[in-house]
Amino acid sequence: MNQLTISILKPNEEPVLAGRLSGKATFLRVLEEIPSFTAPTLLILDFRGVELATSSFLSEAVLPLRDHLRFRRPPAYVVVANLADKVAEEFDELLVRSGDAMLACAIDANGGIRNVRLTGKLEEKLLDTFNLVREKGAATAVELHAESRESDRIGPTAWNNRLSVLTSKSLVMEIAQGRTKKYQPVLEMA
């Protein structure tokens, strides 16, 4: 998978990002900076240097970008990086209020990814599904169904729906293997 990092903070911009209009402007700027993808891509939104970002900014910049890019072919999976404590707190509260989740991490100057964590909140069954995929490394809906027949009496279609939701949140990526779809974590968590 390709990796692209885009800075949320423009050079000489104030380190406080606030308001819906500012969020929409950042969403449009980032869209313009994204090239056409030829393969699935991990898009890292780097918040390095941002001291504070309000929930109104984040709800107009980050979440619409993630939702927009999931429909591109090939897709891009959005992850946030280098969140200052105040930004992480604001983002987590926004995601919890909306019942949403994303991956956050730290990246170094060489693009190395570390400290991957889930921010926000997933509904219990989605969290269980996410953890199963993480444990297996990769799985199909049929494989998850076969492993869970005793504990969870749902069919492969329900598993596929859960995996689709996790994909839409950029938590797992979909890999087509003929007529089958396999899912694996976008980033490995410790």
And the tokens for 52?
């504070």
φ/ψ region of 164 (left if φ > 0, alpha if ψ in -120 to 50, else beta) reads alpha
What is the pTM for the complete model shown?
A: 0.92
Residues 177 and 141 in one domain: yes
171 and 92 belong to one structural domain: no
pLDDT at 124: 93
CA angle 66, 161, 174 (to 5 degrees): 55
CA distance 104 to 79: 6
Query: Could you read off the pLDDT tens digit of each residue along the chain, which spans 190 residues?
Result: 899 999 999 988 999 999 999 999 999 999 999 998 889 999 999 999 999 999 999 999 999 999 999 888 888 999 999 999 999 999 999 999 999 999 999 998 888 999 999 999 999 999 999 999 999 999 998 888 887 755 567 777 889 999 999 999 999 999 887 888 899 999 998 7
Q: Does some domain include residue 26?
A: yes
Work out how many domains the chain is built from and give that number. 2
Query: Residues 111, 130: one domain?
Result: no
CA distances from residue 179 to 40, 175, 176 in whole angstroms, order as listed = 18, 10, 7
Domain span including residue 107? 2-120
Do residues 50 and 9 touch, judged by C-beta distance below 8 A? yes
Please identify, among 103, 120, 137, the residue that sits at the C-terminal boundary of a domain. Answer: 120
53 and 144, same domain (yes or no): no
Give yes or no: residues 129 and 84 share one domain.
no
